[in-house]
Amino acid sequence: MTATVRGAPRLQRSWDSRAACNFICGGAGTGLLLAAAAALPSGWPYAPAGVLAFALIGFGLWMVWLEIGRPLRALNVFFHPQTSWMTREALLALPLLIIVGAAILLDQRIVPLPFKTHGTVIDLAWAGAVLGLAFLYCQARILTASKGVPAWREPSLQSVIVITGITEGLGLLLLLGLAVATPPSWVFAAGLVALAARAGAWEYYRRRVAAGAPATATAALNRISSPVHLLGHVLAAVLLIVALITPTPVLPAAGAGLALVAVGAWLKFTVVTRAAFTQGFAIPFLPVRGRAGS
């Protein structure tokens, strides 16, 4: 007898808000490294953005360390680079933090050196940005390697995570404009492009999940979709356009930055903790009872 019988999926509790924190802070931090490196030629100082990115990435990793069951064995995480994206993320984290730390020290001239350091800072900043992007990609692959969670194994989640990280990085740079200096105007334009890309990636991902994941996962994503678009995309776009045309762009740009960052964090928190329903059980055939031999 043919019939698909399903056992209900359940919301995973293995990774909670601490794990979500790693995806939120790591993504935003690595995105900020890229934005900060790109802003250097415009005369923007590296240190404020570098320190914030360093702190965010480190905080995210620390939260993961708090979540694992055997924190004193944490170094075992390096044992499986052949296939584990978690190992690869950990392997990248070390040089990433060292390089960003060195760039901050040189940018601030904390260590006096007998040569000009600006060029070295630019080189280190770009090295940090590239490693940061690789780190961000690893985070995306960690999620999509989770075959037991249909909303995570959907391949288009990779682009959502990477684009969201870059968008948050631009958002943080816009927010830093309040404290450091007016961000260069290309950041406003880049923010518009990034939020359009995020809106598209999110919509595509949401539709793909609706086609293949449990209804409960789809419902969790649908619940936040309208506010995500309104706050994170429409409102942020309006504020960025205002920043582009106004002579005093710092406040609208910071508002847009806040919307980009907050919505990115909300989106990732929802994906990790609210839409993460397991595969559940399914049998495609019912047992035939009552025949001789059965």
Partner 1 sequence: MTRHVMVADLRRCIGCQTCTAACKQANATPPGVQWRRVLDLEVGEYPNVRRVFVPTGCQHCADPPCEKVCPTTATRRRPDGIVEIRYDLCIGCSACMLACPYDARYKTERREYGFGEKPTEDEAMRADDSLLGVATKCNFCADTVDAGVARGLTPGEDPEATPACVNSCISGALVFGDIDDPKSGVSKLLDENKHFRMHEDLGTDPGFYYVWDQDLP
84 lines the binding site for partner 1 (CB under 8 A): yes
DSSP codes joined into one string, 147-187:
TT-HHHH-TTHHHHHHHHHHHHHHHHHHHHTTTS-PPPHHH
CB 239 within 8 A of CB 252: yes
Residue with tokens 């933090």: 97
76 lines the binding site for partner 1 (CB under 8 A): yes
Q: Which stretch binds partner 1 (CB under 8 A): 145-153, 223-231, 243-251, 257-265?
A: 145-153
Any residues with CB less than 8 A from the CB of 182 and at least 6 apart, and which? 249, 250, 253
Whichever of 126 and 269 has its CB closer to partner 1, that residue is: 269
Residues 4-43: x where in contact with partner 1 by CB under 8 A, - otherwise, as a string: -xxx--x-x-xx----------------------------
**Joined tokens for residue 99:** 């390089």
Min separation Cβ 216 and partner 1, Å: 15
Residues 201-240: x where in contact with partner 1 by CB under 8 A, - otherwise, as a string: ----------------------------------------
**Type of residue numbered 85:** W
271 lines the binding site for partner 1 (CB under 8 A): no
User: Contacting partner 1 (CB under 8 A), which of 41, 83, 111, 247?
Assistant: 83
Binding residue count for partner 1, defined by CB under 8 A:
51
Instruction: Please state the three-class secondary structure of 58-105 as a single string.
Output: HHHHHHHHHHCCCHHHHHHHHHCCCCCHHHHHHHHHHHHHHHHHHHHH
Distance CA 244, CA 188 (A): 6
**Joined tokens for residue 130:** 């590239």
55 lines the binding site for partner 1 (CB under 8 A): no
Min separation Cβ 286 and partner 1, Å: 6
Cα–Cα distance list, 41 to 18, 36, 38, 121, 173 (Å):
36, 10, 7, 11, 15
User: Contacting partner 1 (CB under 8 A), which of 23, 44, 137, 152?
Assistant: 152
Q: Tell me the backbone φ, ψ of residue 283, rounded to 5 degrees.
A: -120, 130
289 lines the binding site for partner 1 (CB under 8 A): yes
Min separation Cβ 48 and partner 1, Å: 33
| The dihedral formed by the CA atoms of 205, 254, 190 and 186, expressed in degrees to the nearest 10 | 180
18: left (phi over 0), alpha (psi -120 to 50) or beta: alpha
User: Contacting partner 1 (CB under 8 A), which of 149, 163, 176, 237?
Assistant: 149
144: left (phi over 0), alpha (psi -120 to 50) or beta: alpha
Min separation Cβ 155 and partner 1, Å: 13
Whichever of 60 and 171 has its CB closer to partner 1, that residue is: 60
User: Contacting partner 1 (CB under 8 A), which of 11, 51, 68, 130?
Assistant: 68
Q: Which stretch binds partner 1 (CB under 8 A): 53-61, 176-184, 189-197, 278-286?
A: 278-286
Distance CA 246, CA 240 (A): 10
78 lines the binding site for partner 1 (CB under 8 A): yes
For binding to partner 1 (CB under 8 A), which residues are involved? 1, 3, 5-7, 10, 12, 14-15, 64, 67-71, 73-74, 76-80, 83-87, 90, 142, 145-149, 152, 276, 278-289, 291, 293-294
